[in-house]
Chains A and B, each alone.
Chain A
Amino acid sequence: MEAVITVFLTILGIYFSLGLLFGLYFIFLGATKVDPFMTDSKKKVRLLLFPGVVATWPFLVGKLIKPKTLN
């Protein structure tokens, strides 16, 4: 059981550490690349979105990598 717990918590830790890194990138640079509507948004909005970006970073990274469509 302890092995399962250690693996689970390690994965969780890595997930959120990477999320933090991506979150910082998002706040300072990446926001407008993920969503062009972010151009005019204030810093406060990016801070508000920060925890969610940390939580869901794999989806947002996916959006960055995917080739842009006309939509």
Chain B
Amino acid sequence: MDAGLRKRHKYIWLLLTLVLSTLLIMVIKSLNFNPRVESSYASEEVADPIKEAKHDVMDVTVVKTVDAHVLELNVKQPIKSASSVIFTLDENQKIGQLEGIGTYTFQLENEISGIIIKDVIKNQEILKLEF
């Protein structure tokens, strides 16, 4: 590399570091991390199913624990879409992602009246369930 090229590399990387780290921090901040709740609550008597919906593909239950609402999904059939993301029906807030058959639990910030499952890549609604 000659002197000019070395300089170009230096400035490109300074710029990339600055721009990308700012963007990444902004993205991480606005992405909603909703960790799956440990299933220990299930055995405790404080768990109290308050809402339910059944469908061929999945059963959905909202359980109230001492300090939170928990959404429980039991997916019974394989999901064909590569990207199945659950949103709340009320405020269209992202809850989490489905990968296939199995039981999922997600913590909810407040009570919800239903869920929508969307394919976010195609921007299509896959399933809508109201309680």
Instruction: Give yes or no for direct A-B contact (beta carbon below 8 Å).
Output: no
